[in-house]
Amino acid sequence: MSYKKPLLAVGPSIFALPTLIILAAAVAAPLGNGLLGYPTGERFYSFLSDICHQFPTRSFWLFEHPLAICARCTGGYLGITAGFIAVLLAKGPTGRNHLAIGAALFVTALLEAYVGLSDGNIWRAFSGFVGGYGLMLLISSASALFFVKLRLIPNH
């Protein structure tokens, strides 16, 4: 099966679109406060305050203001975006193998976040990226298998 088939982009898109909105808001917050002045960016910080602890020392900074999500979340959402681009470009068959790889990456990143092995924002972002990429693989493979089950797309 190929991800060029529009139906297969449905599952990943449902997750990718909110991700892009969150990333845009996360960057808009420091841009607003840093370039246009306080309180321009505050609405973006407030918008994302329920999904992230927003600890400034655990976030990347832009124009002397922290992003509205922490480094791990930033990595996670970037990973989802990268995974989304990868599954759209993928030409080979996907299915149980990708599902397993995605699940393994996602669970590893979750465990790493729970145990807290990564020290420093770069490593936290990397861990998040791996988890986000894995999550997108998981979602795209699961949705592909779901459509195969419904016989909406052929099984290869």
Partner 1 sequence: MKRAMIFLLAWLPGIALSAEVRLPGGTAIVLTTTSSINSDTSSVGEAVTATVTTAVVIDGVTVIASGAQATGTVNRKEDSGMIGQSGKLTVEFTSVLAVDGTSVPIVATKTIEAKDEVAGTVVVSTLLCPLALLNEGDAAILPAGTQIRAISIGDVTING
Residue 60 backbone class (left: φ over 0; alpha: ψ -120 to 50; beta: rest): beta
Cα–Cα distance, 57 to 108 (Å, whole number): 24
| Least Å from the CB of residue 34 to partner 1 | 8
Closer residue to partner 1, CB minimum distance, 63 or 146: 63
Cα–Cα distance, 44 to 23 (Å, whole number): 11
33 binds partner 1 (CB under 8 A): yes
| Least Å from the CB of residue 65 to partner 1 | 5
Residue 120 backbone class (left: φ over 0; alpha: ψ -120 to 50; beta: rest): left
Closer residue to partner 1, CB minimum distance, 65 or 98: 65
Integer CA distances (angstroms), 130 to 32, 33, 76, in order: 29, 30, 7
Window contacting partner 1 (CB under 8 A); options: 47-55, 78-86, 91-99, 136-144: 47-55
Cα–Cα distance, 89 to 82 (Å, whole number): 11
| Least Å from the CB of residue 38 to partner 1 | 4
Closer residue to partner 1, CB minimum distance, 11 or 66: 66
119 binds partner 1 (CB under 8 A): no
The site string for partner 1 over 56-95 (x = CB under 8 A, - otherwise) reads: xxx-----xxx-----------------------------
First to last CA, the chain: 6
Closer residue to partner 1, CB minimum distance, 116 or 154: 116
Q: How many CA atoms lie within 13 A of 49 on its CB side?
A: 7
> Which residues contribute to the site for partner 1 (CB under 8 A)?
33, 37-39, 45, 53-58, 64-66
